[in-house]
Structure 1
Amino acid sequence: MFSFLRTKNFDALEVLQAHQASATFPAHFHETFCISLIEQGTFIENDTIATQNSLLISHPFEVHQNKILLDGCYSLRTLYVSPDMLNHKGLTPLDLQFSKVIDDQDLVQQCGQLLNYFSTYVKSTKDNFFEQSLFQFLANLYTFRQTNDDLLEVPDWVEEVKAHIANYIDQRIQLDTLTKLAGQDKYQFIRNFRKYIGLTPFQFIILQRILRGKEMLQEGMPIVDAALNTGFYDQSNFTNYFRRYLGITPSNYQRSCNIFQE
């Protein structure tokens, strides 16, 4: 079972709650840091295994897929933190990489307390204690950082293709158009795009549409309108992909996404 809690009064923080879940997820990415507290079972991200009472970190735009041990299930809570929040506090150089799995029990306990308090915080317009606790936790997490000196340099054509997709996400995007932007033939383009992004062009487009649709649902837009405004054929098509990548239907997401204005 999955549910979300979200607030607009502090950088749109969001928490995913999964209880006794067995869903797996195909290759995807998030635009935020994802800090997951594994409360029960084992959760696998790519080749990384996170067990009970540990933290699993996913970095912004890091392509990953999730699975579980055979016939297993898991319970976890994930805090989504935007890079801008960390940058605002001077915590995040561009090449920052947190350790993927952290089993320091003091930090695990601190994360649990923070998540416990979040459900109360979303109902509050002002809560300096929570904000101070959050930044203290992030500062402590920062001590588990590592730098990556071997980042793959992304060529300009990749950014041009991504910008085109973003600008025309509500329309049919032709592969021929993308290959012309990249200056490559079809098969070379698909291979190279996956090399730099970690997803095929089709997977990337679908995921971008889901993320855009998720934002629209947060704003209260009807599901059918969110589907059509993000380039899906219909609501059913949107729902199938949304559930596949996020583990929850759009209607359940919209119901469980508690939004409180400032």
Structure 2
Amino acid sequence: MFRLQSLGTEYRALIIGNSGALGKAFCEHLRNDPGCAGVTELGRSTTPAVDLEDPTSIAAAAQSLAHQAPYQLIVLTSGLLHRQGVQPEKSLAAIEPEALQAVFQVNALGPALVLRDFLPLLDRKGAMAVLSARVGSIGDNRLGGWYAYRASKAALNMLVKTAAIELARQSPHARLLSLHPGTVQSALSLPFRGAAAARPASQAAMELLSVIDRSLPADSGGFFSYNGERIEW
């Protein structure tokens, strides 16, 4: 039976981005964990709602849940790679300011506000994880392209790293992690090469929860793959 070990008994979890494939899978696993006392879900259609493109919703949701704090686990699963009017760029000539702004809003600016408003709700010995992507690694960039997505995820990684330094001063036993889920069977990966080899969301969520569970306070601020490998910045 799946059970997280590092968060104690009767831990409480908060999943931000509950409507995507990974968000749903996280919620399902946590509800089935006998050590989890409850899962709070947030998304654009929940009450309160969180929309990363609506900064006021982020602060309002955090304020409305403050009385339920602390949470021992917080996971942000949201991200934007493509939608109508937004596609990964194959060249510099394909960059459009509106699409670039939209991708940065969802992948970096919104998460920055989530860190600002929700980290104060984290238990002093808890763990918070934000889903990034290996393509956000500057050192691992060998193919180029995907300018907005790569750059926004690199910015997200810096936000996590910087926030983890501040968190360590206030809560030295807490963990803040940037995680690469790999290619997952979801609407995000479906149109792209490699989707055929994508892993089920349930498997990916289980692997990511295991990475969180095995992490130590010394790992806070790190960038890790779903298999526990540390990824270069």
TM-score, normalising length: structure 1: 0.27
Q: Which has a greater percent of strand? A: 1
TM-score, normalising length: structure 2: 0.30
